[in-house]
Every structure is written in C-alpha cells, then in structure tokens.
A and B are shown apart, each in its own frame.
Chain A
C-alpha cells in the first residue's frame, strides 16, 4: 500500500470509519433495547408512553455518546477508526481527554446536523480538520504516520548591551 501524501486522514476514510462506528453503536443500542423489551414483555405488559420514549431516546444518545467518548479518550481511536488505521490526537500528540472528547462529540453532532456540512472544512483545511476538530482542538491521523513538527515559537531576542539603559 502506498503511503498517503499527508498524515491527516481525509473525508472518505473518516466517513467510512464513522459509518462503521455508528453501525456498531446502534447494534449495541438495539441489542440492549431488545433485551430490555424481552425482559419487560416477560415481566409485564409494558407500553411505551411519551416519557418512556424520551427515556429511550436519552438512553440511545447516552450509549452512542459513551461509545465515542470512551474510545476516543482511552484508546485514541474507535473500532471503526482502528479498522481503517486512523487515530485522533490533540495537537500535542496525545489522546484527547474526556472533556475534549465530549467537546468533540458535541462538535460531531453539530457537524452532522446541517446535512454534514460541518465536514466540508476537511476538504479545505491543511490539517483536514472538521468542525468538531476545530472545537476540540484535535486532528485525525493515519495510524503510523507522524504529523509534521509544529512550528516552534521564535525565541525572544535578548536586548543588546548597547541598548540597555542604565538608570542614572
């Protein structure tokens, strides 16, 4: 396999990884829901009212959110990202923490809601960052490829002795 030109992951690879992750998360949600429904049907005749539906929706959001936050903050990659050899990192080269992962999740939701327009910057940005990456301060890399070193700030120039003004 030829190495990509840049270490930052592009739109198609990230989209496939996201699709795999969403599928896995939904399998977990549906499996849990099916088990709960089975138990409920065995125990009593339960009908979902509005509150129960809201609770179910909340549980869905929680499971999906926990899935992403847990994997980003602990392993730096979700199962889908692992399959496609992707890794999410902060600009310092570390795994994002829980707070940053939650920020990224919120950003991901915001990027998806307007018909995935939040992903358009990936095509333009030099580091291929989406809206959620901007918000969380993260980048997504092809695993095994190091990002180019961040530009170091220029050291402060020491004042020349001739310019030193002695009080006097």
Chain B
C-alpha cells in the first residue's frame, strides 16, 4: 500500500482542527444565544449586535473599495502589460487558435447567437442607425469609391463575366423558364389584348366623331338640321 503524502496529512489535520474549533465556538456561544432571548439582557445585546453589524458593513465596504483600487493598479501595471505581451507572443496563442479552429468554436458561437438573438431586429437597428447612414453617405460620396467602380466596370472582368453568364446553361434555362412561364405569357397576352382594345376603341371614337361632323356639314349645306333624337 502506498504511503500517504505528508502534506495531505497536514491538510487533513488542519481541516479537522477547524471543524473542531467551529464546534467549540458554537458550544461557547450557546450561553450568548440564550442570553439574547432573555428579556432583561436581550435589548442591550441586540443593540450591541446592530452596532457590530453596522461596523462590519462599513469594513466590508472599505475592503471592497481597497480591492477595486488594487485591481485597477494591478491592471494598469506595466508588469501585467509585459506579461500579456509575452503570453500573446508565446505558443499559447497558437494553441488557442488551433483549439478554436479544431472545436469549431466560432461556428458554434455564431450558430448559437443566430439561434437565440433576434437577428432581424439587430440588422434593422444597425441599418437604421444614424452612424450607418452617415458611413454609407460618406462612402458613396467619396471619389475613391467612384474611381473603384469605374475601374471595375471598365475592366475586362465584367465583360468576361457577362459573357460567361450569358453562355451558361443555367442562363439558358432561366430564359427558357421565363419565356414559357404561364404568368409571362398571360401578361403579354393581356397587354397585347389591352393595346388592341385601346386602339380599336380609339378608332371607334374618332370615326364616330367624323360621322357627326360629316353629317352636320352636309346638313348645314342643305340647311336641313337634324331632327332631335327624341
């Protein structure tokens, strides 16, 4: 059987001692608890208890402030900066990167965020934000963007891309689908029909006007007014 470690034995002794101390303290304080419930001693003792609690809260507040100050000093210390620099320059950064990539942490986090966050609202708020609008306005107004767009449009890449898209079987399929689509055929038929109807209605209206004009003219020559329709 393996021999126990001396340090563990010491720790065990310390823990046992502390527990024993607490038990003793409880027993020692038992008369005090009884005294707190007693009618004569209870009042002064409770006042003393309140005063002690007040002192304790003040001490706790002071300790917190001290701790915050100490934390601030620690974070601002150049030693910490140097340590962080060494840390980032060391192998740990590579290891963390590898681990992040290996366990697909970014994808998982993104998926979780997309699953839980209201993405539409976030994007909407981002787009409607004044800063976004200003940034877009600045980008559109900048001569650099204009030059870039002109260069892209004048480049051979656009022509080749267009040619490639036009020659692609997918494009042919799209054109064929659109050309044979019942909705498109219906719309074209409807527009043609409407155009024809409008033309005929226009011819009808004009000929009727000529009818009236011609009859009125001839009747005027013959001095024979048209009898009323009634």
- Seen from chain A, the residues whose Cβ lies within 8 Å of a Cβ on chain B are 1-2, 4-7, 9-13, 16, 83-85, 123-124, 126, 128, 142, 148
Contacts and interface: CB of A to CB of B under 8 A. Distances in A.
A126 B226 contact: yes
A1 B205 contact: yes
B227 interface: yes
Contacts of A148: 229-230
Contacts, number: 58
Interface residues of B, number: 20
Given A4-B211, A124-B218, A13 B227 contact: no
Q: Is the interface of A mostly helix, strand, loop or mixed?
A: loop
Contact of A9 (B211, B227, B229): B211
Given A123-B215, A128-B215, A84 B229 contact: no
B207 interface: yes
A7 B229 CA distance: 9
Interface of B: 200-201, 203-205, 207-208, 210-212, 214-215, 218-219, 222, 224, 226-227, 229-230
Contacts of A9: 211
B212 A4 contact: yes
Nearest first, the 5 A-B pairs at minimum CB distance are A10-B211, A12-B210, A13-B207, A123-B218, A12-B207
Given A10-B210, A84-B200, 15 more contacts: A4-B211, A6-B226, A11-B210, A11-B215, A12-B207, A12-B208, A16-B203, A16-B207, A83-B203, A84-B207, A85-B204, A123-B215, A124-B224, A126-B226, A148-B229
